[in-house]
């Protein structure tokens, strides 16, 4: 890969994250506003036209009042590409084309970041890069090495967040992970602490699928981890093959994300600064399926030591 400086920066950042506890978000004021990125579908696809009264939100089992509902105004997109040694031949070319076509679907209001993952993690596009810049950077990538997929997804989460807005992270992999510094459990914790919806795309993978955090902790199965990341963040895992259909899968994810709802509420009747809050979202109509992140962290503000006089 011909971006040694970017590669070094991202690798050091991931190694530092592996050596230190995950940073803890804190309240900035006495009132916390929780924002949920929600997809509502039926057997015919995403359901449009819902209002705040159509939703029921429970925070730790306590019903909350949805104060505002909006659509996705602009997409903040991150793409993590597996570029390890298994991506030889036409595989990387197919992934490049699918990624360039996806970025071409973005509007002027959207933002993007691309991260490559082999045995190290590389920032492919700097923030604010143009589509032409992205094409050139993607063309320079060469496959090789092992797969630090967990580290790559961590880097993707950090790189994709360019503003406080909700974020979409697309992760493309062949399902192998054999060189990461970070653990799957620490990655799930990081995903929970960011407003990032993760859509893994598993390409040409035939391994069995497992679900749930407990299963992920007992196994090294990368597919189990990808499923957990999708479930915890409100995304979904898709399968694809090494053909032109990969681009169709990427496009489907972006179109689906644009049809999500953003719900906001101020927690009432629940604790503050007490850690993880499980959240359940339901739509009050038959046949509606909901995908939303599993909860949020309510962390205590760290008091600053008094200045000595």
Q: Identify the CATH number of the domain in which residue 133 sits.
A: 3.40.50.410
| pLDDT, average across residues 269-293 | 94
Whether residue 4 is predicted with pLDDT greater than 70 in this model: the reply is no
Whether residue 85 is predicted with pLDDT greater than 70 in this model: the reply is yes
134 and 203 housed in the same domain: yes
CA distance 92 to 242: 9
Whole-number average pLDDT of the chain: 84
Predicted pLDDT at 213: 45
Predicted pLDDT at 70: 94
CA distance 120 to 277: 34
- Which residue has 């499923």 as its token pair? 227
pTM > 0.95: yes or no: no
β-partners of residue 167 are 196
| pLDDT, average across residues 180-202 | 91
116 and 215 housed in the same domain: yes
Predicted pLDDT at 173: 92
Predicted pLDDT at 163: 80
Residue 140 counted as domain residue: yes
Predicted pLDDT at 260: 96
Position with higher pLDDT, 17 vs 157:
157
**Count, residues in the chain:** 309
pLDDT digits (tens, 9 = 90+) for 230-249: 999 999 999 999 998 999 99
Confidence of residue 126 (pLDDT cuts 50, 70, 90): confident
How close are the terminal C-alpha atoms of the chain, in Å? 55
Predicted pLDDT at 208: 47
Predicted pLDDT at 206: 56
293 and 230 housed in the same domain: no
User: 3-state class of 172 per DSSP?
Assistant: strand
Predicted pLDDT at 13: 52
Rg (CA), the chain: 20
Predicted pLDDT at 300: 57
How much of the chain exceeds pLDDT 70, in percent?
Answer: 81
154 and 277 housed in the same domain: no
| pLDDT, average across residues 72-83 | 94
291 and 168 housed in the same domain: no
Residue 236 counted as domain residue: yes
Whether residue 124 is predicted with pLDDT greater than 90 in this model: the reply is yes
Residue 125 counted as domain residue: yes
| pLDDT, average across residues 24-34 | 53
61 and 136 housed in the same domain: no
224 and 288 housed in the same domain: no
Predicted pLDDT at 138: 95
Residue 25 counted as domain residue: no
172 and 142 housed in the same domain: yes
Range of the domain at 39: 34-46+56-65+263-298
Predicted pLDDT at 31: 54
Predicted pLDDT at 218: 37
Whether residue 308 is predicted with pLDDT greater than 70 in this model: the reply is no
Total domains present in the chain: 2
Residue 153 counted as domain residue: yes
Confidence of residue 216 (pLDDT cuts 50, 70, 90): very low
| pLDDT, average across residues 266-293 | 94
209 and 273 housed in the same domain: no
Q: Which of 21-35, 105-119, 136-150 has the lowest mean pLDDT?
A: 21-35
């Amino acid at each position: 890969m011909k971006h040694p400086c970017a590669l070094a920066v991202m690798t050091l950042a991931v190694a530092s994250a592996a050596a230190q506890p995950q940073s803890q978000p804190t309240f900035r004021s006495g009132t916390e506003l929780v924002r949920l990125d929600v997809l509502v579908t039926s057997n015919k696809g995403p359901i449009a036209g819902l209002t705040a009264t159509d939703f029921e939100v429970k925070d730790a089992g306590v019903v909350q009042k949805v104060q505002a509902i909006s659509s996705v105004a602009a997409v903040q997109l991150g793409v993590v590409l597996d570029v390890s040694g298994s991506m030889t031949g036409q595989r990387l070319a197919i992934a490049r084309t699918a990624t360039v076509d996806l970025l071409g679907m973005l509007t002027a209001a959207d933002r993007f970041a691309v991260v490559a993952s082999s045995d190290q993690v590389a920032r492919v596009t700097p923030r604010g890069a143009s589509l032409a810049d992205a094409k050139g950077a993607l063309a320079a990538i060469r496959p090789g090495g092992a797969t630090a997929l967990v580290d790559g997804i961590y880097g993707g989460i950090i790189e994709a967040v360019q503003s406080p807005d909700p974020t979409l992270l697309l992760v493309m992999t062949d399902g192998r992970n054999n060189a990461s510094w970070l653990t799957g459990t620490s990655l799930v914790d990081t995903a929970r602490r960011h407003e990032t919806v993760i859509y893994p795309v598993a390409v040409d993978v035939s391994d069995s699928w497992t679900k749930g955090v407990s299963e992920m902790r007992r196994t090294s199965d990368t597919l189990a981890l990808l499923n957990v990341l999708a479930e915890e963040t409100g995304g979904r895992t898709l399968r694809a093959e090494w053909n032109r259909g990969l681009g169709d899968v990427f496009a489907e994810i972006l179109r689906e994300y644009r049809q999500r709802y953003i719900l906001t509420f101020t927690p009432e009747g629940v604790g503050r600064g007490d850690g993880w809050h499980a959240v359940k979202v339901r739509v009050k109509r038959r046949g509606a399926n909901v995908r939303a992140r599993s909860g949020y962290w309510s962390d205590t503000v760290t008091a600053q030591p008094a200045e000595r006089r």
